[in-house]
Structure formats: C-alpha cells, structure tokens
Amino acid sequence: MSDEIKKNLEQRVKKHFSDSIETKQKAAETMSEDIVRAINLMHQALASEKKILACGNGGSAADAQHFAAELVGRFERERRELPAIALSTDSSILTAIANDYSYEVIFSKQVRALGHAGDVLLGISTSGNSANVIAAIEAAHLKGMSVIAFTGKDGGKIKNILKNSDVHLCVPADRTARIQETHLLLLHCLCDGVDHLMFD
C-alpha cells in the first residue's frame, strides 16, 4: 500500500468518526425531550407488566434483537428480566408468512397475535418507509398499543401515521450509516432510562 493510499484511507476513517460525532451531537440537542418521552412510555408499560415488541429490517432487525436482548438479559446492571420480543428472529414464522401472504405482513401478523393493549411497539426504519414496519404500526394502533418509531432523513411515511400518544425519534441525518449508529445510541439511552426508573 502506497503512502498516498494509506493517507487517503486514514482521512476517510477520520471523516466517519467526525461525521458520526456531529450527528450524535445534533441528535442530543434536538431529540433529548422526545427520548425522555420514549423512556417514560416504555417505563409505564413495563411497570404495568406489559411488554415491548420490536421490529425492523436488515441492520434495524439487528437493532430490534439487540434491544430485546438488553431487556430480557441485562443492560449494565443485574436486575430482573424485562419482557421484550424481537419480531425478526423466528425464521419459521417469517418465512411462512412471507411465503403464504407477503413480506409486507411479517411483522403485523405477529403484532396481532402477540400484542395487547398497553404494550409498546418499537418500529425501526432508517428511511421511515419500510412497508412491513408501517403495517406493524397500523396493527399496533388497532390493538391499543403505543408506538415508538425510530427513523431518519425526513421521517418518511411513518411520521404521517403516528398518533399524538406515540413518540417519533427521527435522527437528523440522511446517510444510512449515521442514522443506524445513532439508533444504537438511542437504544442504549432507552435501556439506561428504563433501568433507572424501574430499579433506582
């Protein structure tokens, strides 16, 4: 590797770090109040012995699974298990629904089967336009569930279907990588906030 190529790569790496920091700082300035609302919504559900369902596609599916693992297992302290289910993990359910119906309803059918009034749906879509996440949000509303939506860019179609009682956490960024990085930080904020309210 030539010195010029190495220098170019180092600059690209540093740019990722600086862009990520800038996005997160902007999110902290503009989203803190809504993040607190989301924490409170989850706390109210969990304190009432309700559960959280989480869904998303690709990297957002991984975030949904990550979040459920933090609640059922632990985040940063030993405490009792908290009920959360990632709707992207059961390959038999996902493939059966996608094959017999359509990919668009892989989450909404699970919400109708597993969700109850008072539960919370965490729907994650970097673009805000994921059809199956939108269908899940609509199903959650019909079940009397509240919704916390993670999006980015301009919020996409999801921003237009949320109710006043829902919480929209839209990352102020257009680049998918920056949105996903900030979504992970938001998840950790929610986990920490819920643990603080539940167990401190």
Nearest Cα residue to 108 out of 65, 62, 143, 67: 143
- Confidence (pLDDT) at 46: 98
158: its two tokens: 């999801």
Kindly provide the residue ranges of all beta strands, DSSP E only, lying in 56-153, ordered along the sequence: 84-86, 120-124, 146-152
- Domain containing 30: what range? 3-199
- Give pLDDT tens digits for 145-157: 999 999 999 999 9
Residue 3 in marked binding region: no
Q: Over the chain, what is the mean pLDDT?
A: 97
**Cβ partners under 8 Å of residue 55, min gap 6:** 61, 64, 86, 87, 88, 107, 110, 121, 122, 123, 124, 132, 133, 136
- Residues 125, 133 contacting (CB under 8 angstroms): yes
- Residues 155, 128 contacting (CB under 8 angstroms): yes
Q: Any bridge partners for residue 171, and if so which?
A: 152
pLDDT for residue 108 is more than 90:
yes
Residue 180 in marked binding region: yes
- Tell me which residue has tokens 């359509």: 102
Domain count, the chain: 1
pLDDT for residue 113 is more than 90:
yes
- Give pLDDT tens digits for 3-26: 888 889 999 999 999 999 999 999
How far apart (Å, rounded) are the C-alpha atoms in residues 66 and 86?
8
- Give pLDDT tens digits for 129-182: 999 999 999 999 999 999 999 999 999 999 999 999 999 999 999 999 999 999
Residue 127 in marked binding region: yes
Which pTM was predicted?
0.95
Residue 66 in marked binding region: yes
Residue 195 in marked binding region: no
Q: Which one-letter amino acid corresponds to residue 199?
A: F
- Give pLDDT tens digits for 27-63: 999 999 999 999 999 999 999 999 999 999 999 999 9
Residue 57 in marked binding region: yes
Residue 59 in marked binding region: yes
Residue 132 in marked binding region: no
Residue 130 in marked binding region: yes
CB atoms within 10 A of CB 31: 20
How far apart (Å, rounded) are the C-alpha atoms in residues 124 and 58?
10
- Residues 158, 149 contacting (CB under 8 angstroms): yes
- Confidence (pLDDT) at 7: 87
Q: CATH number, domain at 9?
A: 3.40.50.10490
10 by DSSP, 3-state: which?
Answer: helix
- Confidence (pLDDT) at 6: 84
Residue 126 in marked binding region: yes
- Confidence (pLDDT) at 31: 98
